[in-house]
A and B are shown apart, each in its own frame.
Chain A
Amino acid sequence: MSKTSAETVVENNQTGNQFPAVSDDNRVALAEQEKREQWKLLSLTFPALVVIALVILIPVGWLFYLSFIGKAGGFSLENYQKMIEYKSYARTFTTTFQVSFLTTLICILLGYPLAYFLAQLPGRWVGFFMLAVLLPFWTSLLVRTYAWLVLLQRKGIINDFAINMGLWESPIKLVHNMTGTLIGMAHIMLPFLVLPLYNAMKKIDRDMMHAASNLGASPARAFWTVYMPLSLPGMVAGSLIVFVLCLGFYVTPAVLGGGRVIMVSTQITAILENQFNWGAASALGVVLLIATLLVLFIAGRVLKLDAALFGKS
């Protein structure tokens, strides 16, 4: 490695200092040190990888395997064939996507103005209002769902209040149907949309809207041509989280749907409880998983398209 100084050192005429021309001193040792540090960093992820393997990959693999076992015990496609044959399965999937889509839509309609409001607030108020958004987020899901049941039922607070105020005459069915399911799910999902959206809005420079209006855009025009497109990535991200979470949601549709809103998750439970048919339940789970991955994949493609439009990698 180290040659004699006479060979590797050139004279600098102006100052008389001596510099090594090209040095190989410690080159290999330094490279090894860098590699060791990279492995150390990587090893930090090992515990997480082990947990993921144990609680996700193995059970999902097991379900995947079970879905191909027929009633007779051997390999069979009958679980999947049934899903095509019986219309109730198709209806379940339609309902699932319908509920997820509508919940996402309601969250956007409620969440966009809310996030906008939060993003415009002066700093000292943000903490308080953020807490108001996050507080229900930290409360038990079950508690919130039953709270809605209390509020929405036939003789619940909302019906009583509306009848006393003369808004309607006899109790309206607000729960144990689609309406109740959507109200409950939108409430639970709202923070998942508001947080990424607020984040995106916070990053929009105030001068952007000033520039738009200075160039002649009315407030509405400035919003649609500048603010909306700039907040779109946050909205897409939030909507995606909400939509995907909705696809597999169980507690709220089960309680507030009252057996009338049958989503994939509720049907899986029903199959297990009534027929104890692990194969059929697994097949349903596998299809839902694939559907979810498909949504993520397509959205990923569209998002990347957006990223290209925004000029980011």
Chain B
Amino acid sequence: MNESSIVDSALPISIRGLTKQYGQLYALDTVDLDIKSGEFLTLLGPSGSGKTTLLMAIAGFNRPDAGSIRFGDKEMILTPPHKREVGMVFQSYALFPHMSVAENIAYPLKLRRVNKSERRERVNKALDTVQLSGLGERHIDQLSGGQRQRVALARAFVFEPRILLMDEPLSALDKKLRERMQIELKDLHRQLGVTTVYVTHDQREALTMSDRIAVIDNGQLMQVDAPQVIYNQPSNAFVADFIGESTMIPLKRTGNELFVGDERVSSVPDTPAETDWSLVIRPERLMVEPGTADRDSTLFFNGTVKESVFQGETALLLVVLDDGTEVSVRSSTGTATPGITANPGSQVQLAIFRRDIIVVPTGNSQR
């Protein structure tokens, strides 16, 4: 497949005011989202957050109550699914059991009246791309889970759609295969250059694969940003809590300054709303018994070790701080940076660099 020509034909998606109500419940609450041409965007959220509803609305399988979905500058909201020209990989794969692998992949080409020889050529090329060459004659139930996943993928992109949708395509695979497929999918996306919308509830998967992540909860977008930004600068408590591990410590406000205990954390971030604020601590950013005592760059906590857990590549230390908050500390176990082990009951001093501190608003109860 010619890379540049495919990149040219990728389409941006523009969603405005998309709303879908089930009874009293908003599955989608006036969602505005711009997906750039050729971008890999992940919709990430807990189950029931509306992420699948949004994907199905883009595919045309459910009818929103209001709003607009544009592919490029063409309004698609009333277009039936079979005329939308988007490829989709289903969670269940939805491969046709009465057709062979090759027939499954040829199905969309047949519908587009591609002639037989070109059809065969494109099916073989698609099989090559997903590394299933020579398996075209197999029946679907002769394939492993990973192979089915690849067939579903090949069928979704063989007709060169300009938008590719994926609904938790890796959730049925075991952990090792899933992690390999994440890299392969990312690679394939780079090859095809097609605008991709990916749905998952697995935050690590989202961080691994995406150009940008749209965190969604209760039918509302919580934050749309690149993985590093989502992780390092979550814009609210939900995102901070949902992405990665975190401990949240409520902050006290005095004037325009925020404090934890007697320690000044930061000044109040520039936000109009009157809210409460919390300190978000990532377990891997805490240090145990730091050599430094520089209070300008570092924030210190004292606590008692509750539990020390070995988890293979990392070790986890659960510490109860003097104010009763429980925090976890994660460190790698290799000899380069030996994981901290401490006996339950012993006193420890923890520290975090001020530049690693995250402060998020909590009072406006978005959850």
Contacts and interface: CB of A to CB of B under 8 A. Distances in A.
Contacts of A226: 96
A71 interface: no
A230 B97 contact: yes
A311 B141 contact: yes
21 contacts: A207-B90, A208-B94, A210-B81, A211-B88, A211-B94, A212-B96, A212-B107, A214-B82, A214-B86, A214-B87, A215-B108, A216-B82, A216-B108, A216-B159, A217-B107, A217-B111, A219-B82, A230-B96, A310-B97, A311-B141, A311-B142
A9 B211 CA distance: 60
B139 A311 contact: yes
Interface in B63-98: 80-88, 90-92, 94-98
B269 to A, nearest CB: 44
Interface residues of B, number: 29
Interface in B148-173: 155, 159
B98 A215 contact: no
A215 B111 CA distance: 8
Interface of A is mostly: helix
Interface in A176-234: 205, 207-208, 210-219, 221-222, 225-226, 229-230
B163 to A, nearest CB: 11
B1 to A, nearest CB: 18
A210 B141 contact: no
Interface in B91-120: 91-92, 94-98, 107-108, 111-112
B90 A312 contact: no
B166 to A, nearest CB: 12
A150 B85 CA distance: 57
Most-contacted residue by chain B among A213, A217, A218 (CB, 10 A): A213
Interface string A295-313: 0000000000000011110
Which 3 residue pairs spanning A and B have beta carbons closest together? A311-B139, A207-B94, A211-B94
Contacts of A230: 96-98
A218 B82 contact: yes
B61 interface: yes
Contacts of A225: 107
A187 to B, nearest CB: 32
A225 B142 CA distance: 21
B316 interface: no
Interface in A272-295: none
B59 interface: yes
A218 B159 CA distance: 16
Given A207-B94, A212-B96, 14 more contacts: A210-B81, A211-B94, A214-B82, A214-B84, A214-B87, A215-B108, A215-B111, A215-B159, A217-B82, A218-B82, A229-B98, A310-B98, A311-B141, A312-B141
B297 to A, nearest CB: 50
B127 interface: no
Interface in A40-86: none
Contacts of A216: 82-83, 85, 108, 111-112, 159
A171 to B, nearest CB: 49
A208 B96 contact: yes
A312 B80 CA distance: 34
Contact of A214 (B81, B92, B139): B81
Interface in A19-51: none
